Amino acid sequence: MSVHELAGQPAPESALADIPDLVRAYQTEHPDPSVDAQRVSFGTSGHRGTSLNRTFNEDHILATTQAICEYRAQVGTDGPLFLGMDTHALSLPAHATALEVLAAHEVTVMVAADDGVTPTPAVSHAILTYNDGRTEGLADGIVITPSHNPPTDGGFKYNPTTGGPAGTEATSWIQQRANEILENDLSDVKRVGQDEARRADTTQEYDFLGNYVRDLDSVIDMEAIRTSGLKLAVDPLGGAGVHYWMAIAEHYDLPLDVLRTSIDPTFSFMTLDWDGAIRMDPSSPYAMQSLIDLKDEYDVAFACDTDHDRHGIVTAGGGLMQPNHYLCVMLDHLLTHRPDWPSDAGLGKTVVSSGLLTRIAKHHDRKVHEVPVGFKWFVDVLLDGRCGFVGEESAGASFLRKDGTTWTTDKDGIIAGLLAAEITAKRGKDPSEIYEELTEKFGSPVFKRVDAPATPAQKKVLKNLTPDQVDSDRLAGEEITAILTNAPGNDAPIGGLKVETENGWFVARPSGTEAIYKIYAESFKGEKHLQSLLDEAQLLVGTAFDRAPAVG
């Protein structure tokens, strides 16, 4: 894929979204449920789309919220529902729509006491805080966000009483029921007007910000940061954490500059991503160019995406850290600086996260819980403390409180950023420097992801491969040590294939939205070996395609 000529440059006016047109389309355009692309579809992070092509419109939110209300009744969830949203333009009208349905069902809804904007981790924190010690009347939540997606997108996800992303059983039921409601022209939807919904006794204010901020010192050593003498900066990227960062800096008296505190639904202040789109991705060097340009002015700086569940770390010497690199630094620090954690608190990683994480965990004699892509697979192990730290290669992570109890069961970009400050304060080295030390000790991996074309039939074959369909015993000059189609941590299907050797691995997975499959690969032997992994991975997958009767 070629990089756009304006990637990393300020967004021109021609790249900005027409917000009034976007909102008008949300209210007036109606999806056709007979068109697959216009149906409700819960991926790894809820339903996403844009009103401009009828994939995120009021009908979708009416149907999905109605389905969630019915699901709550079916499973016996009758406590309050914490409703949060980010700063995307479609989040506010979707928030209003959802509230109208929830109020009609007399669901007690907790909305933010200020402007309604709430980071994803604050919603997870609120659910878990409310449910702590309770066995009935448990709370759940809805977060309205398309994560780091472009300004024209909207997103809608459900977090059950466990506080994190809903599992497949719940999302499949909600998705199926929501599409039935769409097919029935919304006749099953119960709804009241916006004024009535706002005035309802069941609509109540909740101080998401205050409760979250005041509790941060239970998970981060805020005193170490306060007294460090470091110069720190955070760029909220115009997201839901803008006011949170200002409150954090003030409440804990941190040496933290909060950059760009304005909220603009066009996100006109962003630099363009690799493809020329505006995308609030804190792991992209193109989207993060403005903060990278300031790296020499701060000891460490960080940013979060629009709903603040992902993070990006910038250091003076290393610039923007690759997500896998910082995950390794976080893991090493937490396993050496959390004395009250259970001695058996392990590592949670996805099948496409760095193998260096595994080497670090084994060095500290901790178990590794490897799961498919999707943060929902980490919820249970965070709740029961089996894993002290969990992370995924797309810059999402969470970890336990200092006393070893659960903090959140959803990704938390805020604590990831603050941990970078804690690490630098307590160890006298920034995360980039510590990563270099880790590679000297455990090996220096190189990682790459490439996309390859695939027909629908080939994607289906890849998703349903079994290990015995791969008959090669060597990969990139090394003996194959494992061929996996199910994750070793929970035996759940990975939706593709993983092949491992002593010093490398690859994962091939079909895309859920495009006519491609993705190959992730990592080598501990250098770039040449990495390229061999990628080349042989494509050949191996191609052979499996050729031999599968379904491809024909």
Beta strands in 93-176 (DSSP E): 109-112, 140-144, 153-159
Distances (CA, A) of 62 to 57, 178, 182, 403, 495: 9, 9, 9, 41, 30
Distances (CA, A) of 380 to 163, 310, 377, 409: 10, 20, 7, 8
Under 8 Å between Cβ of 431 and 423: yes
Under 8 Å between Cβ of 551 and 533: no
DSSP 224: H
Backbone angles phi, psi at 473, to 5 degrees: -110, 5
Going by their DSSP bridges, the two strands 300-304 and 232-235 should be labelled as parallel
Q: How many C-beta atoms lie closer than 10 Å to residue 1's C-beta?
A: 7
Going by their DSSP bridges, the two strands 300-304 and 311-315 should be labelled as antiparallel
Which residues in 455-477 are b (16+ Cβ under 10 Å) and which e? Answer: eeebbebbbebeeeebeeeebbe
Beta strands in 460-503 (DSSP E): 474-475, 478-479, 482-486, 493-501
3-state secondary structure 232-249: EEEECCCCCCHHHHHHHH
Look-up of token digits 């630094």: 329
The strand pairing partners of 156, in sequence order, are: 47
In the set 147, 283, 394, 532, the catalytic residue is 147
What whole-number distance in Å separates Cα of residue 59 and Cα of residue 66?
Answer: 11
Handedness of CA 54, 142, 312, 321 (dihedral sign): negative
What whole-number distance in Å separates Cα of residue 210 and Cα of residue 26?
Answer: 32
What whole-number distance in Å separates Cα of residue 356 and Cα of residue 537?
Answer: 21
Residue 90 φ/ψ region, left for φ over 0, alpha for ψ in the -120 to 50 degree band, beta for the rest? alpha
Which residues in 250-274 are b (16+ Cβ under 10 Å) and which e? Answer: eebebbbbbbbeeeebbbbbbbbbb
DSSP symbols for 169-196: HHHHHHHHHHHHHHHTTTTT-----HHH
353 labelled catalytic = no
Under 8 Å between Cβ of 165 and 375: yes
> Annotated catalytic sites, by residue?
147
